[in-house]
Structure 1
Amino acid sequence: MTDAAVLAARSQAESSAPPLLEARHLSKRYHFGKRLLPGSGKIVHAVDDVSLAVFPGETLGLVGESGCGKSTLGRCLTRLYEISEGELLFEGREIGHVGARQLKPYRRKVQMIFQDPSGSLNPRRRVADILAQPLRVHGIRPRAEIDDRLRELMDLVGLPPGYLDRYPHEFSGGQRQRIGIARALAMEPQLIVADEPVSALDVSVQAQIVNLFADLRDQLALTYVFIAHDLAVVRQVSTRIAVMYLGSIVELGSTDTVYGRPAHPYTEALLSAIPEPHARQQCERIVLQGDLPSPISPPPGCRFHTRCPFADDRCRTERPLLRPLDDGRSVACHYPRTEVSRTAGT
């Protein structure tokens, strides 16, 4: 079966299958500063009213500028961060506000791979100890089978079993990331949230790790949430794309639809920056004016209106909701680019 046929079959299954993971109006806020009186101090709106679903077998790419809330959302989906508001459902069960004991089965089914493999691996422990710990804590395998399982994990990520006796500092960045992937696989998860897993690696090593993700998805029937700011990498690995801006989802749809005909002006600007002139010959580079607004005091109305060349009075006062379009995607824009033709300043 060709890659296109695989994606088509997967998309067809998603249309009838219930979500594996679903966020409903999920928000994450941080309070800081003086809070002696109710309402005092400041609030960082890191994730603001996000709703999305992740279907079995797909790879949902999560993209946006640095500081837009991608990593925070990923940690909320894995319950590494507490959720301020909203619901988080896994296989239809609400797990967004349950305690540690109720979360233990979820911890096994949903794992995270971190951006910096050096910072996510204990430098004082051998690889064998790092990989064996989750097996022992969750009782996934009998003790007599742990050594065999460790060798299986090393083989899955393309490392020799002899490396089990080494320490993290003895490996290259790409090898350490493979160890981080092996640690996530040790739990035999259904869903993996990968937080910019290739951004700290050389380009040649990035390609190897991306291919490894694809092979593991097909071999182990995994589902991914793949967080990255490199739009070319996300396009290569993702079934669907969610675009974030200032803590909110502004566009969500299939990879081909979003990359081929972006509906939100922010998505259009991001895609114009991909260094692939042969792939987007007719798309001129769109340079956004101004800086990303502070999540402490997000602008009223549409969060993007301060940088959007098409903003009008409605955009400045009324916040657009994420709504479905006829082509199957959803967009949070009063004037989606696929519905009307506009010129700057109108």
Structure 2
Amino acid sequence: MTPSIPSNVASRTTGLSAPDTSIHGTGETCLSPRVPLMSARSLVKTFTVGRTFRPGSGRTLHAVDGISLDVFPAETLGLVGESGSGKSTLGRCLTRLYDIDGGTLSFEGSDITKADTRALKPVRRKVQMIFQDPSASLNPRRRVRDVLAEVLKVHRIREGAGIEERLGELMDLVGLRQEYLDRYPHEFSGGQRQRIGIARALAVEPTLIVADEPVSALDVSVQAQIVNLFSELREKLDLTYVFIAHDLAVVRQVSTRVAVMYLGSIVETGETDALYARPSHPYTQALLSAIPQPHNRSRRGRILLTGEIPSPLDPPAGCKFSTRCPHAQAVCREVRPPLTAISNERSVACHFPLA
């Protein structure tokens, strides 16, 4: 029997049509007067796993599955979700460290989806990435001076004495002493190494920085220092961030807007305070209920999700969250909900969004 589809779903869905993840016409893009700095439309990234020498072997892993997303100037977009949801892969697609298998990606109005290495060079200067593990992202055989100076030389930002001057400026920006320039990465603490990674990203004077779990490998006290540094740099240098994290408390502190990701898809976006106060997607509600708040007795009760996270090798039909959602109905298992605006500042991919 064909499941009955509620009127709000039927108006945007015909039968069991292919999923429409574009937010053109219904999403936040059309409702906001701001011009996005970066726009992704129906972005797809897959990997083949288990491949052998036999032709046609291997299975397709859907890491980023039709994501549409805007990043606006001078904002911090927090990208949250459980481990394995595809956040880091999306970050690498946005910086074009990964080639994109489908959809389009534009930066400052120019399509960079298929741009080659030469065409991407000016984009690389404006779009930088900070990685999760500062130890792995720095060459252990090179002094800090050489790590930072190489970036300046490759992009021809400074020459001669100007390079030394810029190195001093970068160390001051991230709160490190200039004499540390002659040390090797292993001589620093984890927090100091992350500051060096931030300095390397700032060296080319970028517009957009994608920070991939930049504080998850650090002690709690050091996390607070790095988070404060991100905020200070954003105000001082007029930066735009995509801040990837699984710690929702950290995301709330640094983000102006949040996008919630589940199994390769965006399920909800919205202004930070509004989304945290009244989540519209059941998955967002479950994530927020897990934030430790020992002194707040009136907070929402903990929502425990049942079942296992589906494999990205074989994602479920319809809504990907339907296998764990306490509110799922028959239509949820058949029709994938598009990311649709429910207010001027909120979009949600759910057939039955929470009130």
TM-score by length of 2: 0.89
In the alignment, which residue of structure 1 is the partner of 2:20? none
Residue 55 of structure 1 pairs with residue 64 of structure 2: no
In the alignment, which residue of structure 1 is the partner of 2:161? 144
- Shift of the 258–321 alpha-carbon distance from structure 1 to 2, 3 Å rule, reads same
- Shift of the 231–279 alpha-carbon distance from structure 1 to 2, 3 Å rule, reads farther
Q: Which runs of 5+ in 2 are unaligned?
A: 1-30
> Aligned pairs, how many?
324
Which amino acid counterpart does residue 103 of structure 1 have in structure 2? Answer: L
In the alignment, which residue of structure 2 is the partner of 1:201? 218
The C-alpha deviation readout for 1:76-116, integer Å capped at 9, x for no partner, is: 00001111101010001000111000000000000000000
Which amino acid counterpart does residue 99 of structure 1 have in structure 2? Answer: D
In the alignment, which residue of structure 2 is the partner of 1:186? 203
- Matches of 1:300 and 1:15 in 2, distance apart? 31
Which amino acid counterpart does residue 119 of structure 1 have in structure 2? Answer: A
- Matches of 1:35 and 1:312 in 2, distance apart? 43
- Matches of 1:70 and 1:332 in 2, distance apart? 17
Candidates 222, 236, 240, aligned match of 2:257 = 240
* Shift of residue 257, structure 1, vs aligned partner: 1.2
Residue 23 of structure 1 pairs with residue 40 of structure 2: yes
Residue 165 of structure 1 pairs with residue 182 of structure 2: yes
- Matches of 2:166 and 2:80 in 1, distance apart? 34
* Shift of residue 29, structure 1, vs aligned partner: 0.3
The C-alpha deviation readout for 1:117-160, integer Å capped at 9, x for no partner, is: 00000000000000000100010112220001000000000000
Secondary structure of the structure 2 residue equivalent to 1:27: strand
**Is 137-146 or 147-156 further displaced after alignment?**
137-146
Candidates 308, 316, 323, aligned match of 1:291 = 308
Which amino acid counterpart does residue 146 of structure 1 have in structure 2? Answer: I
Q: Is the 8 A contact 2:144 2:196 kept in 1?
A: yes
The C-alpha deviation readout for 1:178-204, integer Å capped at 9, x for no partner, is: 000000000100000000000000000
* Shift of residue 262, structure 1, vs aligned partner: 0.2
In the alignment, which residue of structure 1 is the partner of 2:290? 273
Secondary structure of the structure 1 residue equivalent to 2:60: strand
In the alignment, which residue of structure 2 is the partner of 1:262? 279
Q: Is the 8 A contact 2:59 2:313 kept in 1?
A: yes
- Matches of 1:277 and 1:222 in 2, distance apart? 34
- Shift of the 74–279 alpha-carbon distance from structure 1 to 2, 3 Å rule, reads farther
- Matches of 1:278 and 1:306 in 2, distance apart? 33
* Shift of residue 267, structure 1, vs aligned partner: 0.2
Q: Is the 8 A contact 2:32 2:344 kept in 1?
A: no
Give the % identical residues. 69
The C-alpha deviation readout for 1:12-53, integer Å capped at 9, x for no partner, is: xx9433110110110100123258455x53100000000010
* 1:1-346 aligned within 5 A: 15-32=32-49, 33-34=51-52, 36-37=54-55, 40-278=57-295, 281-338=298-355
* Shift of residue 276, structure 1, vs aligned partner: 1.5
Which amino acid counterpart does residue 91 of structure 2 have in structure 1? Answer: G
- Shift of the 279–27 alpha-carbon distance from structure 1 to 2, 3 Å rule, reads farther
- Matches of 1:290 and 1:115 in 2, distance apart? 29
Secondary structure of the structure 2 residue equivalent to 1:325: strand
- Matches of 1:327 and 1:190 in 2, distance apart? 26
Q: RCO greater where, 1 or 2, for CA within 8 Å and sep 6 or more?
A: 2
Q: Is the 8 A contact 1:35 1:41 kept in 2?
A: no
Secondary structure of the structure 1 residue equivalent to 2:229: helix
Secondary structure of the structure 2 residue equivalent to 1:135: helix
- Matches of 1:203 and 1:308 in 2, distance apart? 32
The C-alpha deviation readout for 1:221-240, integer Å capped at 9, x for no partner, is: 00000000000000000000
- Matches of 2:55 and 2:334 in 1, distance apart? 29
Which amino acid counterpart does residue 208 of structure 1 have in structure 2? Answer: Q
* Larger relative helix fraction: 1
- Shift of the 149–229 alpha-carbon distance from structure 1 to 2, 3 Å rule, reads same
* Shift of residue 302, structure 1, vs aligned partner: 0.4
* Shift of residue 291, structure 1, vs aligned partner: 1.5
- Matches of 1:217 and 1:291 in 2, distance apart? 38
